Structure 1
């Protein structure tokens, strides 16, 4: 049995940032991650934030890793956690031995929401995140030409990354719409969400045109009279008025069938078109990867604005379970920059839990929370349009959870 002052599960931006912060304050830190490299989702990220300013996730991950090693953080990769439990201390059971620690931080990140339609299990069909990792981390082309099903901020960023790797993206299409699924959006709703990314559009015409989509009526008309060939972004056709109905192939994916779709998600299946392709990416968005928080007994709430079910926590990244902390996408889907700041906040809160409050440490925590808010306000890409409302909801739930019942 090994001992550490705090165990951090997840070596992504939140976990590494928290580890660095803890170590700087004299905390003995152990970081555990199942992947072969540290960095989490940072490893696949490569996008232009504004003209000639690029976010290179691999470089950011390397910088965090080197900083962590400089401060003697104990990092264990290729190590799976299969159980956590609390007695007088936290017990973390892994494929590489067990640890005891007074504090535990869950920085497990996010997973992709699947999309299902006929043919989605064929070889050559993959999640958009898998394509990103294969391309940017392993330097393997997923194919010569292919399509993406699903329109969201993640799609747009990764489509550009695949294109820069020399892969032809034949088009981005709408997925099948299911009115029974709460996470399923109509083309009109998706267009409203994507309008928030207009400042990143590669042409002045697209940036200007997006300003005309401020009302629901204008968005409905835009989809109704959308060009048959779609709008081209970086030379990639973007189809808000076409939905994929089937992926075809015998041994592997070799094409798609698609139909026109109205602003409310209704497909015109009487008229179908075929496009030959050699791979298909599915993009259903991300949700918090929070199973370990459930094992720990942390209460959960469904908050769509944060991407799904999230463990209850406050702005200092504490949960209602004693000395259990969370940071990063487990708390809601946002950018890596926000995850890094949340990790910093969690690291300070862990230090406070171990060593007690002090005027200087309390101020650092307050400043870090304010840094979270400012980073969120300045974020160029938001995965969910009402992220701030989601954050306010979870804080309201936290206050309600800790309000004593009347006697």
Structure 2
């Protein structure tokens, strides 16, 4: 006699299938990014800001072994001898090429062996009980970790010299967006989450935040918008820059976003080895916090705070609740947002009307990470989980928060509560921004 599995068993099997899918998707991407180049390109350092691609690959496997094979699975180590080599806190990126790293073939063999063991662990693990396995959290954490390193490897490809090796179809066309700005009313909203099963510790807990009324750009600042700042000699006028930003601009000698060049009287950019005319209708990308802040001042605006950004992205005034994503609670699709390295570039503004928030703010998810004015810090009631080095050690004014994900961010590592952070000078990341401002009295009615 056969019996129907009880609900708990059915839920666990559905969760296992989902975990296997996100792990497989991440590994397919890691493989594509590393198979696209030869062994020389895998082992060399393309920028002092980045690790060799082969380090990222083996590091992905090592983290997977530590958390899923050894901890969740209770299995014997696969390569305990390499733990220190792939500890990101023990070796700065600039020093990693000199380490005795696994070669390309050995690294590929290692991550394959680890993954085989992980899938066996997944088949037998009880996905409830202690916090690390409840809702398959550890598996989700590792899938997010791999996808985060895949985005880092994609950024390394952008810094790589040589002929193009990556390809993808173009994004959907943009459209005219009738309102340049949106008024977000004053009032409280729920920021962060206490219910998202794979949310990381810095996204937790959910808490009420009062936000004064503000006005935010409907779409990210475009290359065309930013070009006006460049051609108005905004990079040469200290009045638009903070003292720290101006000192960095002078010291680094920057005069335009990274990968922009003036050629035969026109602006071009280099994108994954392709030189192309500057796409005026795409969100500007590869700008630092300091550049974003200077543009906003020049435009008579400012950068939004992190709370303002999240309220614009999640708050539904009709219900008073915060959504998982701007468009609702359902996972992103190709109709909602430009994610997952699907297009290898930001989409033109107006390309994703289905992804708009209830207030009409667009392209908050995907395309470009958006700088905010906020320092990275824990929320009220923050608790470390599962280790301090994921978030807590980075809580400091020297790191600025970015929100929303980029075209290189996978959906598993992007949601309305997801928080990214980096130094305000960073430009190799897929970073852009939108502006905000305080409302004028007549706008408040």
Same fold at TM > 0.5? no
Question: What TM-score does the superposition give when structure 1 sets the normalisation length?
Answer: 0.30
Question: What TM-score does the superposition give when structure 2 sets the normalisation length?
Answer: 0.28
- Structure having the higher strand fraction is 1
